[in-house]
Amino acid sequence: MRYALEVIDGVNLLSGSTPLPEDAIEPISNWEELIGVPWFFRKVVDGQVVIKTTQEKQDYLDANPQPTEEIYLFFKLAHSIEFSSTIGTSWVEKVKMVTEDLPLGTYRIGWTYAYKVESADVNLNPTFRARIRVNNEKDIRQIKTQPIPGANAVPSVGFAYWELSGETEIVFEFRRIGDEGIVSVSDVILELWRASNDIGISPIKTGSDDLIKTEIAEVPSFRTITLE
């Protein structure tokens, strides 16, 4: 289920199973319009998530001065909301992001998804595995999760900082390992942000960096949430 949570200076878009947080905003009828907009350019009006006005966007940028090379100078998103399933142990591609010629630098690669594991035999223990891969040669992260009895879909989120340059391909793939069964995934979102203008420079610098620190504190590098 798609929903939103209001935070300081903006709104985060999320997906997960019920029960939702008490302050969750749903339904989000304009999700497709909002998903490509930075969280700090969204706001809540009369219980609905909308895009800030041009003046409000400028006010935010004025109040949060950026480095010479703006920290949010580059942003790209790719997503697939529908459920995809496999019983196989070979990697299945779910979402692919292909960029233009990126300038050399450090980038923040983020991902969210919801997974489900099913087996007709309660004695079997199939496992869901996902990976985020760059240029078909480097795995940013491999994620192994065990089945959650009685769960519909378990939401997960994570991110990593990676040095990139040139034309880049980022892929989210999944498969089954272990015992026989079905593994499924939905609501997969890949995000790519430029975090610095040179390799080795921390993405946490000045201006809006307080917001970035907050985001990092709230979202660990990998988290699985079990919902009844």
pLDDT one digit per residue (tens) for the chain, 228 residues:
788 888 888 888 876 666 777 888 988 888 888 877 888 889 999 999 999 999 998 888 888 765 544 444 577 888 888 889 999 999 999 999 998 888 877 888 989 998 888 887 777 778 889 999 998 877 877 777 666 655 577 888 888 888 888 889 999 999 998 888 888 999 899 999 887 654 333 333 323 333 232 222 223 233 333 333
Contacts of 30 (CB under 8 A, 6+ apart): 49, 50
Following DSSP, what letter does each residue of 33-74 receive, concatenated? HHTTS-GGGEEEETTEEEEPPHHHHHHHHHHSPPPSS-TTS-
Q: Is 128 in contact with 183 (CB distance < 8 Å)?
A: yes
Contacts of 210 (CB under 8 A, 6+ apart): none
- To the question of pTM greater than 0.75 for the whole model, the response is no
Following DSSP, what letter does each residue of the chain receive, concatenated? -EEEEEETTEEEEEE-PSSPPTT-B---TTHHHHTTS-GGGEEEETTEEEEPPHHHHHHHHHHSPPPSS-TTS-EEEEEE-S-EEE-SSS-EEEEEEEEEEEEEEEEEEEEEEEEEEE-SSTT--EEEEEEEEETTTEEEEEEEE---TT-S-EEEEEEEEEEEEEEEEEEEEEEEEESS-EEEEEEEEEEEEE--SSTT--S--STTHHHHHHHHHHS-SEEE----
Whole-number pLDDT of residue 215: 29
Per the listing, tokens 């990593």 go with 160
What is the CATH topology of the domain spanning 75-224?
Jelly Rolls (2.60.120)
Whole-number pLDDT of residue 65: 66
Q: With the CA atoms of 86, 96, 204 and 144 taken in that order, what torsion angle do they form, in degrees rounded to the nearest 10?
A: 20
Whole-number pLDDT of residue 38: 81
Whole-number pLDDT of residue 39: 82
Residue range(s) of every CATH 2.60.120.760 domain in the chain? 75-224
Longest dimension (CA), the chain: 59
Whole-number pLDDT of residue 64: 76
Q: Is 161 in contact with 196 (CB distance < 8 Å)?
A: no
